Structures are given as C-alpha cells and as structure tokens.
Structure 1
Amino acid sequence: MNSAEKIIDRFGGQSALAGLIGKRQSTVGYWAKKGTVPVSWHGKLLEIAKNQAIDLQPVDFIPIDDEKNLLPAESSLPKATHWGELTIGEKEIPCYVLNTGDRVFSLKGVVVGLMGTDGGQLVEYLKVRALQPHLPSDLLPAENGEIPALFKFDTGGEGFTKYAVGIKIERFNELLRAYSSALLDHHLSAHDSTKIALTDRQLQIATTAVRFLQASSDVGLVALVDEATGYQYERAEDALRIKLKLYLEEDMRKWEKTFPDPLWNEFGRLTNWKGSVHHRPKYWGKLVMELIYGYLDADVAKWLKENAPKPIRGQSYHQWLSGQYGLKKLTEHIWMVIGMASACQTMPELRQRMAERYGRTQVQMTLYLPVQH
C-alpha cells in the first residue's frame, strides 16, 4: 500500500473518507492511484482524524519509497528524532531534526512550498538556465539527474518505517539565495545583455524565494536574541512561527475592520455606551490597544499596527480573516476577549480577569495633593 492508501484505510475506505470531506469518491480514488494526498488537504485530514480519534500524524503524508531504491542500507540511514510542519504561504513543508543533528526539509515539501505546485521534480526547476550560474556545485544536477545535496533518511514513523528524500536547511537557504541572485539578474537584463531574464513562472518562484529569505532572516535574528537572553524558555511555543507567517503576509486588510461586531457590542455594554457600535467613541481604540494588542507578543502587535493592509473585495470579514496567514492567534485572542467580556459586568472586572488570565499584577499608585483650606 502507498501512503495515500494507508491514510484512506484509516478513515474506513474511499467512500467513508469522501463523505467526511464532502467530495466524490473519485477524488479520494485519484489520491490512492497517485499514491499521495495533496498538501492542501493535510491540515483538514489531521483535524478530522483528531475529532474522530484516528491515529494520523503529519509524517504519514510522506510518500513511501520503494524498498529497492533504499540506498544505503536502512540501518545506516540518518533517522528523524523530531518532526513538524513549517507554513510557507498556504503550503506546509514537513521538517525534521535528525539524530545527526541536521535540520532538514522534505524534498517534496520544498517543491510544493517554494514552487507552488502539488508535485514535480526539483531537478527540472534547477535546470533553468537563468538559475544555474548562481547555484552551488552540490545543487547542480549531475548528468544522471541526481542532485548531490539530496539524501534519503528515516522519518522515524512508528509501526512501519518510512523514508523520504530531504535537503538540509543550509542547502535550502543556498537555493533561496540563488533565486535571489537570479531575480537581480532579471531586473538588470533590460540594460545588460549578459544577464538572463526569468520567465513569468520563474519570476513568481524567485519572488516567493526572496520573501521567504527575508522573513527567515528577520525571524532568525529574533531567535538568536531569544537564545542569547534566555527568553526562548519563556516565549510561547509557536511565537517564531507566528512571526514568520506575519512577515510573509503582504496583502491583508486594516485590522480595525476585521474585529467582529460582538467585540464592539461587549465594549458598548461594559462602558454603558448608548450610541451605535458602528459610530463608536474614539477611546475604544485605547481598549483595543490595551486588551488586544497589549496582550499579544510585542513584536507581532507592532507588525500588525505598522502593516495595515488593503481591503479585499468579495469576501465577508469572517471568510477573509480565517483565510489569512498568521492570524490564527489574533483571531483566537479576539474571541477569547469577547467570551471573557460576556461574563463580566464592568470594564474594570474585564481588566482584572485579563490580568489574572495572563499573570499580570495590578499596581496602584498613591498621589498626594495639597490640602485646600
């Protein structure tokens, strides 16, 4: 059985899984025939599996290699000790830490995340003439089509062993830099005949690569500071991933317009506002700063305020908000505040509950004034 068939079997077969995802059986049948489940469905299937108490892990989506192609021997392959997924745009790239200490990405995940496709061979993208002058030697395809930087490893799956082809993150960064250099040549090609221009498709990939390289640089510096100061042990587990998603986002709406009406309704009730919530008082902005931005990670809050995005037509607030990268935590926080506010009778009570929820201490200042005679 291939990886798709194993996953389908855990849900009770093609008809059962098709019913759970609201698709025809032919869709699931195509997955089985192809041998892999499209990356766009990984998150949905993991969510359904969790709700149905089905044992399904991100590593289960990695294609199973043919035993005859496993070279070197199984026992000598590096093995993953930790694994997870890194979000790039709408794509999830499986990532691993091996027992050798290397951090690696799944090759298929790299192609899907960077190239924006549901499959394909990396070697075909690396053969592009505009890219080749910028690639290090171990990323240049050999005559037989092999790429020296790629290697097979044991994904560490329990119950049955799975294998995948991976690329170390250092080599992935080299690939991003190569695309960055190729993009620079593209812009210079209009005035320099020695420079090679990119096609529209290659230009799209190069732009994605540059954005990810820049975002990774920002997050990397944050991680280094956190490690140097010891803050890495105090920050939220997903703080850096949220930062990466936010740094990658470029086209989101103004935050104030994404706040749902129930938030304003609660603010109106707790402040005894008699007017319409659509013509709310300016001091509610201070409440947003205090209760929403003030309880978010400071760096994330700063980014959100400084990158007010443009409106997107044809979508409701809920549809737009739930579809944006890096906004999951912001959305959860807003609705947590709404829920907490609904149980309060006054704004001071909400402030007190928020402080208790996030471990903040109330400070009371004493002010001395001259006695008036």
Structure 2
Amino acid sequence: MATKKSNTPDASKAKGGHARAEALTKGQRQEIARNAALARWDADVPQATHEGTFSIGDSSVAAAVLPNGVRLLTQATFLRAIGRSRSPKAGTGVLSTAEGLPFFLQAEALNPFITEELAQSTTPIFFREKSGKRSVGYDAKLLPLVAEVYLKLRDACHEEGNPVPRQYEHIVRTCDAVTRGLARVGIVALIDEVTGYQEVRDRQALQAILDQYLQREFAAWAKRFPDDFYKQIFRLRQWEWRGMKVNRPQVVAHYTKDIVYARLAPGILKELEGRNPKDEKGTRKARHHQFLTEDVGHPALAQHLYAVIGLMRLSDSWSQFMTMLNRAYPKRGETLELPLFTGEVES
C-alpha cells in the first residue's frame, strides 16, 4: 500500500531545505560550510589540558587532550600523517564540505569503504590550545580508521587485478606503514600499562619503537633508480620522453634486468628472481632492490647505476652504449661473493 506523503510544516521545511541545497553551486556550499565553521568559534570551545608532539616518519604530529579526555591530532598534522600534503588555512580552515566528509575521504573511489559510523565521526573538533590559540583537530582514533579506508581500496584493486590509482599510491604506502607501526607501539603500551612498567620506562621509548619500524618501512619504498636512467634509455632508443608518470614500455623492465641486475654481482639476478618470483599474473610482490642490504647491496646498486648512466651519456646510439657496457661491465657468473641480501620482504 502506498504511503501518503506528509503535509506537515516540518516535512515541508525539510523538502524545501533539500531543494535549496540541490540548487546551490559547489562554491556556495563550500562558503556555507566555511561560515558554519567560523560560527562555531562564537560558542564556547574547550581548551587543551595537555599537548605534545611525536614523529611519524618525517612528519611531526601535534597532539592534544581535552578536558573530557578526547585525544586530538591537529588537522594539518593529521593530513601529513596519512601522506596528504594539503594544509588548511591558518586558524579556522576546515577541509570539509557541506556534505560533511573531510576532503581526504571525498574521492568516489573511497566511497565503498567508508562506513556510516566513520562518516559520522569525522566532524572536525574546534578547540583552543593551551596558549589560547584557536585550532582544529580530529579525534586521534580516526587515524587508523582513515588509513584502513585506503588499505581497503588497495585490497579491492588487487582482488580485481588492477593497480592502485597512481594518485593514491603514496598515501596507501604511508597508511600501511603507519598502521603497522601504531599496532606495534600499541601492544607495547598496553603491556606497559597493565604491568605498571609505564611508570619507569623512558618517555621516549614508544617513540623510538615507532621510529625504528617506520624508518625501515619507508626505506623499503625509497627511490633507488634515478629518473635519468630511464630518460637515457628513451633517448638511446629514440623514444619520446613524456615523464616518469607515463607508463613505460614493458621492454624497459627487461633492459633493467640486463643492464643492472645481471651485471651487479655474481649470481645476484638468479637469487633475486628466486626470492622475488612472479605470480600467476606475471607481477612480483616487491621491487628487486627491496631485497638488497643497506650496508652493501644499496651502495653497490647506486655505484653501478651512476657508472651505467655515465656510459649512456657518452653514447650516441643504443648499440654503442651496449658495446661499451659489455666491455666495462660484462654479465657476471653464478658464484655470489657479496652479502647483498636482506631477509624476506613483506608483501
């Protein structure tokens, strides 16, 4: 049976409100959101009772605790913690829209992974720092929840056999490392609390644990191949160079294997392909260089790469380069002589 539409004043107001909202331009909706944010400062806002900073990778994260016990991360440092570089305007800038979600969750690709509970808990919190300066933050519990959204996007892409969209690659890597790092710190902090050890541990102990883990994780994704290596390949092959963000021909991977790994050290290519095999889709779980050690493997790789780039720059053609390369750096044998490898890399 059809439900009769309500003609009550409240229903009419709601209907009219929706109609007006739909008629607004994007700029008008953003202006309404900004004005609403500014109006919040007219009301009493809490002042932080405790403040401090900690580091996540290269980012310094500012934290505060309100009188009601809510732990906050300031808006700008929250964004940097998940790998977003955009910063709000000083003081009152709130990076959200009239629809409610902060901008870092507004992408259509993220929508399937945002729960109603998360959507309702992303309201920015207005507060004053101990100095009296007004500030905007987010509940600290949101950090792992927001990171999980990006990790679910990654998992969905992998299940469908698709790569993570390029604009989210850095954020996904950062969120993955941060999530694991916080988990390690969390279990240590929990044990310290229940045993009472938190009263005697050094106040920097948890930060040291987080630093140690994240430095290792972020180092795993460090850029090891200079852009010029690929630019020189394109020049010598007489291909148009359109930048690093444009997909490279598949044969470039073969050139990298032949020019670099087959000549880096005896037996290294065979060992790398054994540790880092292709899956049924023809992709590897990691980059070959992620299996190299920091003290021997990576310096050897860097030295070889810059020597190769030097030969490339001296060459006028691909055949001339390969002739010089084969003379200067012939392919190695099967006897591995240097301790170039780390343990297994997590997928």
Q: Bigger relative contact order, structure 1 or 2, given CA contacts below 8 A and separation 6+? A: 2
TM-score normalised by length of structure 1: 0.44
